[in-house]
Amino acid sequence: MIEIIINGRTLVAKEGQTILGAARENKIKIPHLCFHPALKPSGSCKLCGVEVKSPSGRQVVMLSCILKAKENLEIKTESALVSAHREKAFNTLLQMAPESTRIRNLAKEFGVAVTPPPNGCIRCRLCIRVCNEIVKARALKMVKTPEGSFVAAGEGDCIGCGTCANLCPTNTIKINDQDSVRTISIKGQIIGQLPLEWCEGCGKMYATTNFLKHVAESTLNHPDTKEHHHLCSSCIKLMSNRASTEREHLRK
């Protein structure tokens, strides 16, 4: 039998036993994923790092699934050195398996800060900025959660203009026009659901009622179109071109 000291507590370990094995027997928690009691250790996941004194006298992190118990070996399972090692190891694993809830839950259990799970959004905030600065609907905002920051519905009402979706570089914001209703959503969360208007020229659904109201209130009427028109951009262009040609003819 060998005496080792884990976190200041003297424990007895068997000859040839690993530090992880001794810690597990004594209910001392060390995170690990690649260890299996029936298999030889591989040291792959790097999660089980503990702090020990190296032969040169320096404090270093060593893998407890590989490190064998030695008489009077002093081990720390919690220290600044161990925390930094764990954070790096967890984040390296999450780069390979970003959706793994097992790794995320284990990191949470040991209080390790890890990168938020990917949801397609790169947090460029283009959608929020355009909605605030240009459209002025304030329909989007960044929400902080323990899992990271996400774009969510803001304080203002979405007018269904679709500018956010058009600017989004990762196509995370979706527009779905169906049964005369436009739905704007981010990863399943509905930001706005608004009725659509039909173009009087070509008959296609082209803009939401709220967006047209917003445009009417914030811009001047085009001289070549009716005051209260319902025309899509293609039909407006067509009308505008026709009006200019007619004006040209009259001038000649």
Contact residues: ligand SF4, CB under 6 A? 121-127, 151, 167-170, 172-173, 186
The interface partner of residue 47, options being ligand SF4, ligand FES, none and the CB cut-off 5 to 8 Å by kind, is ligand FES
- Smaller CB distance to ligand FES: residue 62 or 243? 62
The interface partner of residue 127, options being ligand SF4, ligand FES, none and the CB cut-off 5 to 8 Å by kind, is ligand SF4
Cβ neighbours for 69, distance < 8 A, ≥ 6 positions apart: 2, 4, 13, 14, 15, 16, 17, 18, 19, 22
Query: What residues line the site for ligand FES (CB under 6 A)?
Result: 32-35, 43-48, 63, 65
- What tokens were used for 242? 């026709």
Going by C-alpha positions, the residue among 205, 133, 208, 210 that lies closest to residue 164 is 133
How many whole angstroms separate alpha carbon 42 and alpha carbon 114? 24
The interface partner of residue 126, options being ligand SF4, ligand FES, none and the CB cut-off 5 to 8 Å by kind, is ligand SF4
How many whole angstroms separate alpha carbon 32 and alpha carbon 170? 35
- Smaller CB distance to ligand FES: residue 36 or 247? 36
The interface partner of residue 33, options being ligand SF4, ligand FES, none and the CB cut-off 5 to 8 Å by kind, is ligand FES
How many whole angstroms separate alpha carbon 62 and alpha carbon 43? 10
- What tokens were used for 148? 């990271």
Shortest distance (Å) from residue 89 CB to ligand FES: 8
The interface partner of residue 104, options being ligand FES, ligand SF4, none and the CB cut-off 5 to 8 Å by kind, is none
How many whole angstroms separate alpha carbon 235 and alpha carbon 46? 63
- Smaller CB distance to ligand SF4: residue 108 or 125? 125
How many whole angstroms separate alpha carbon 125 and alpha carbon 152? 11
Shortest distance (Å) from residue 123 CB to ligand SF4: 5
Going by C-alpha positions, the residue among 39, 38, 41, 33 that lies closest to residue 19 is 41
- Smaller CB distance to ligand SF4: residue 84 or 124? 124
The interface partner of residue 86, options being ligand SF4, ligand FES, none and the CB cut-off 5 to 8 Å by kind, is none
Shortest distance (Å) from residue 1 CB to ligand SF4: 58
- Smaller CB distance to ligand SF4: residue 127 or 159? 127
Shortest distance (Å) from residue 121 CB to ligand SF4: 3
Shortest distance (Å) from residue 157 CB to ligand SF4: 18
- What tokens were used for 187? 């990863």
How are beta strands 2-6 and 74-75 bridged, if at all? parallel
Q: Tokens 């008489």, residue?
A: 71
The interface partner of residue 174, options being ligand FES, ligand SF4, none and the CB cut-off 5 to 8 Å by kind, is none
Q: Where are the beta strands (DSSP E) in 67-139?
A: 74-75
